[in-house]
Amino acid sequence: MQRDTLKTWFLVHKWTSLVCTLFLLMLCVTGLPLVFWEEISHLTGAEPEVAPVAADAQPADIDELVRTALAEYPGDVPLFFGWDDHSPSVYVNTGARPDTPPPEMHTAIMHGYTGEVLPAPQFNEGVMYFLYRLHTDVFVGLPGMLFLGAMALLFAVAIVSGLVLYGPFMRKLPFGTLRTGRSRRLAWLDLHNVLGIVTLGWAFVVGITGAINTLAGPLEQAWQAEQLGEFAARYEGRPRPSQLQLASLDDAVATARAAEPGMTPAFVSFPGTGYSGDHHYGVFMHGNTPLTERLYRPVLIDAETGELTARPQLPTYMTVLLLSQPLHFGNYGGMPLKVLWALLDLLTILVLASGLYLWFKRGNTEARVREIERMGEAGIDEGARA
């Protein structure tokens, strides 16, 4: 590789790494417990105990469950109703107005068959929610999400440029060489290079999926404008139906089940929440496999008449978003994949920390480029002397 080209790649790696490293360290540290969010919630009691369902039990009426939730929070309106795929519990999100943001929502968790209200903390409270907000938007909403997305993209560039530099620097050294007998900085450099290559694929995937996830808000708004706009035009000039004018939600869900017999409902959005316009229930159906349970098919039900309006297809960009979200946290393969994600996360923290150490012990750019060239030319000898 030519000296000028090598110098350019070194500068790209240096500055992209420096700009994003502190933020990536924060994301790796906060992301580690988030990988085990469900398990931590169960151990700490944040996930309520749900009594088993009797063999002949029938699901409770959904409308009655919504009324129970509203009784818990007088003055609120219903926003979302959802099912837990792994237990017979259901949840109802309520808020002061239809466009209530998640940090201000209330949540009632109930047994889906008995209607019993289950004691559980609010999802938007506690240490895990604090870590989640810090990890996703640093408590400033969309600007924070987009900023972290930019840092994730810089991280991807740093990974690619690091791979380019790894070739000439380490091509004549045995893989995994750690030269500990010469200088501390050289040992840290070898550790940085080895761990960087080991975690390269994982770090790139997590970085790119993280960047995609930060676009969730704009992508959802684009989908709503694109897919729901044509249905909203049919109701132009009509006010949003009041709570008393809403058709039976239980019947709406039954209609959606009949329309998509191979799928099960995941959650329902009420009119005004942004997920189904101002005049529809949005019954979001999904599959039953680890992959298809992440892919939703919205079924729009007229909120006043209860009639099926449409079954719009999710665009490709929404499918990519839905698939990237669980992949980012290793939620596809159960506990083994989560443990692997955690180990790779810890190794990435070491890569970032060693990169910071090397920067503090840095020389000038020309010296670093000469070092890369020298190691590429005499790597075997250097390794033998270590």
pLDDT, position 374? 58
Side by side, the strands of the sheet bearing 280-286 are: 106-111, 89-95, 77-83, 264-269, 280-286, 296-302, 308-310
Average pLDDT over all residues of the chain: 87
Q: What is the predicted pLDDT for the residue at 23?
A: 96
Q: What is the mean pLDDT of residues 82-93?
A: 93
User: What pLDDT does 255 receive?
Assistant: 97
pTM above 0.75, yes or no: yes
Alpha carbon distance 155, 17 (integer Å): 7
Residue 385 pLDDT level (bands cut at 50, 70, 90): very low
Say yes or no to pLDDT of 129 above 90. Answer: yes
Alpha-carbon distance 254 to 248, whole Å? Answer: 10
Three-state SS string over the chain comes to CCHHHHHHHHHHHHHHHHHHHHHHHHHHHHHHHHHCHHHHHHHHCCCCCCCCCCCCCCCCCHHHHHHHHHHHCCCCEEEEEEECCCCCEEEEEEECCCCCCHHHCEEEEEECCCCCECCCCCCCCCHHHHHHHHHHCCCCCHHHHHHHHHHHHHHHHHHHHHHHHHHHHHCCCCCCCCCCCCCHHHHHHHHHHHHHHHCHHHHHHHHHHHHHHCCHHHHHHHHHHHHHHHHHHHHCCCCCCCHHHCCCHHHHHHHHHHHCCCCEEEEEECCCCCCCCCCEEEEEEECCCCCHHHCEEEEEEECCCCCEEECCCCCHHHHHHHHHHHHHCCCCCHHHHHHHHHHHHHHHHHHHHHHHHHHHCCCCHHHHHHHHHHHHHHHHHHHHHC
pLDDT band of 176, cuts 50, 70, 90:
low
pLDDT digits (tens, 9 = 90+) for 10-69: 889 989 999 999 999 999 999 999 999 988 988 887 788 888 898 889 999 999 999 999
Task: Indicate the pLDDT class of residue 120, thresholds 50, 70 and 90.
Answer: confident
pLDDT exceeds 50 at position 107: yes
pLDDT value of residue 372: 59
Q: Inform me whether the pLDDT recorded for 386 exceeds 70.
A: no
pLDDT, position 370: 61
Domain ranges in the chain are: 40-127+215-328, 138-214+336-385
pLDDT digits (tens, 9 = 90+) for 314-356: 888 888 998 898 889 887 768 889 999 999 999 999 999 999 9
382 pLDDT band, cuts 50/70/90, is very low
- CA dist., res. 23 & res. 144, Å (int): 12
Give the pLDDT band of residue 369 (cuts 50, 70, 90). Answer: low
Q: What is the mean pLDDT of the segment spanning 69-82? A: 96
Q: Are 164 and 171 in contact (CB under 8 A)?
A: no
* Average pLDDT of the segment spanning 355-364: 78
Across the range 120-146, mean pLDDT stands at: 93
Question: Encoding tokens for residue 35?
Answer: 């990988």
307 pLDDT more than 90: yes
What is d(CA 209, CA 203) in angstroms, rounded to the nearest whole number? Answer: 10
Q: What is the pLDDT, as a whole number, of residue 56? A: 86
